[in-house]
Amino acid sequence: MIKAIQKFFMEERDEEINEFQASIVLYFIFEKIGPYIYNRAIEDAYLFMTGRIEDLYALQKRDR
Protein backbone atom coordinates (compact mmCIF):
# COMPACT_ATOMS: atom_id res chain seq x y z
CA MET A 1 0.00 0.00 0.00
CA ILE A 2 2.85 2.38 0.76
CA LYS A 3 4.22 2.04 -2.75
CA ALA A 4 0.72 2.53 -4.20
CA ILE A 5 0.27 5.74 -2.20
CA GLN A 6 3.65 7.01 -3.34
CA LYS A 7 2.75 6.20 -6.94
CA PHE A 8 -0.61 7.95 -6.59
CA PHE A 9 1.01 11.12 -5.27
CA MET A 10 3.54 11.10 -8.09
CA GLU A 11 1.01 10.46 -10.86
CA GLU A 12 -1.87 12.60 -9.59
CA ARG A 13 -0.10 15.40 -7.76
CA ASP A 14 3.37 15.30 -9.33
CA GLU A 15 4.67 15.12 -5.78
CA GLU A 16 7.25 12.70 -4.43
CA ILE A 17 6.66 11.48 -0.88
CA ASN A 18 8.83 9.13 1.16
CA GLU A 19 7.71 5.94 2.88
CA PHE A 20 7.15 7.69 6.20
CA GLN A 21 4.90 10.30 4.62
CA ALA A 22 3.00 7.60 2.74
CA SER A 23 2.53 5.64 5.97
CA ILE A 24 1.04 8.74 7.61
CA VAL A 25 -1.44 9.03 4.72
CA LEU A 26 -2.28 5.33 5.05
CA TYR A 27 -2.79 5.63 8.81
CA PHE A 28 -5.06 8.64 8.27
CA ILE A 29 -7.15 6.71 5.74
CA PHE A 30 -7.45 3.70 8.06
CA GLU A 31 -8.39 5.93 10.97
CA LYS A 32 -11.15 7.67 9.00
CA ILE A 33 -12.68 4.77 7.08
CA GLY A 34 -11.81 1.93 9.46
CA PRO A 35 -14.94 2.23 11.60
CA TYR A 36 -17.15 2.33 8.49
CA ILE A 37 -15.51 -0.80 7.06
CA TYR A 38 -15.73 -2.58 10.43
CA ASN A 39 -19.41 -1.75 10.87
CA ARG A 40 -20.17 -2.82 7.31
CA ALA A 41 -18.39 -6.13 7.90
CA ILE A 42 -20.44 -6.69 11.07
CA GLU A 43 -23.64 -5.94 9.15
CA ASP A 44 -22.65 -8.33 6.35
CA ALA A 45 -21.82 -11.07 8.88
CA TYR A 46 -25.16 -10.51 10.62
CA LEU A 47 -27.08 -10.83 7.35
CA PHE A 48 -25.14 -13.95 6.41
CA MET A 49 -25.72 -15.59 9.79
CA THR A 50 -29.41 -14.65 9.76
CA GLY A 51 -29.75 -16.47 6.45
CA ARG A 52 -28.04 -19.55 7.84
CA ILE A 53 -30.30 -19.57 10.90
CA GLU A 54 -33.33 -19.41 8.61
CA ASP A 55 -31.88 -22.39 6.74
CA LEU A 56 -31.67 -24.30 10.03
CA TYR A 57 -35.31 -23.55 10.84
CA ALA A 58 -36.27 -24.79 7.39
CA LEU A 59 -34.76 -28.17 8.28
CA GLN A 60 -37.10 -28.65 11.24
CA LYS A 61 -39.56 -31.49 10.87
CA ARG A 62 -43.19 -30.58 11.17
CA ASP A 63 -45.42 -32.33 13.70
CA ARG A 64 -47.75 -34.81 12.07
Residue range 30-55, pLDDT digits in tens: 999 999 999 999 999 999 999 999 88
Distance CA 49, CA 41 (A): 12
User: With 80 as the cut, is the pLDDT of residue 64 above it?
Assistant: no
Q: What is the share, in percent, of the chain residues with pLDDT greater than 70?
A: 98
Instruction: Give how far Cα 14 sits from Cα of 1, 7, 57, Å.
Output: 18, 9, 58
User: With 90 as the cut, is the pLDDT of residue 63 above it?
Assistant: no
Domain ranges in the chain? 2-58
Higher pLDDT, 54 or 25: 25
Q: What is the share, in percent, of the chain residues with pLDDT greater than 90?
A: 83
Q: Report pLDDT for 4.
A: 98
